[in-house]
């Protein structure tokens, strides 16, 4: 893991941020998997996943080109979250 010289964040803030990014990643995965099944979109679970993930997926969907029936914006969002996690981990002060 790369440490950026002179720039570090508190390990507790980094740990919370990494947890948050991981939960967002799993929420996007869950939403993507649920889209394959005939689930009621008014269900509380679907609504929760939609409200949590849509602010991340929707801006990516606007800039990504259409790929027919496949929506690749969740995959792009996951890649962005992984990159953000790596950046946060790189800014964490070494123990």
Q: Has residue 2 been placed in a domain?
A: no
Q: Has residue 6 been placed in a domain?
A: no
Check whether 5 has a pLDDT greater than 60: no
Tens digits of per-residue pLDDT, 23-33? 999 999 999 99
Q: Has residue 73 been placed in a domain?
A: yes
The phi, psi pair for 92, rounded to 5°, reads -75, 135
Tens digits of per-residue pLDDT, 63-75? 988 888 888 999 9
CA separation for the pair 42, 50 (Å, rounded): 10
Q: Has residue 5 been placed in a domain?
A: no
Give the range of the structural domain holding residue 59, as residue numbers without chain letter.
11-91
Average pLDDT value for the chain: 88
Q: Has residue 82 been placed in a domain?
A: yes
Structure tokens at 44: 């509380």
Q: Has residue 62 been placed in a domain?
A: yes
Q: How many domains does the chain have?
A: 1
Q: What is the mean pLDDT of residues 34-62?
A: 92
Q: Has residue 1 been placed in a domain?
A: no
Q: What pTM does this model have?
A: 0.83
């Amino acid at each position: 893991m790369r440490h950026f010289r002179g720039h570090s964040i508190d390990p507790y803030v980094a740990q919370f941020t990494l947890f948050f990014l991981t939960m967002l990643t799993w929420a996007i995965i869950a939403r993507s998997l649920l889209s394959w099944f005939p689930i009621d979109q008014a269900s509380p679970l679907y609504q929760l996943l939609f409200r949590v993930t849509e602010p991340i997926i929707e801006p990516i969907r606007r800039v990504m080109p259409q790929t027919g029936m496949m929506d690749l914006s969740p995959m792009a969002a996951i890649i962005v979250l992984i990159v953000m996690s790596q950046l946060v981990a790189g800014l964490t002060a070494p123990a």
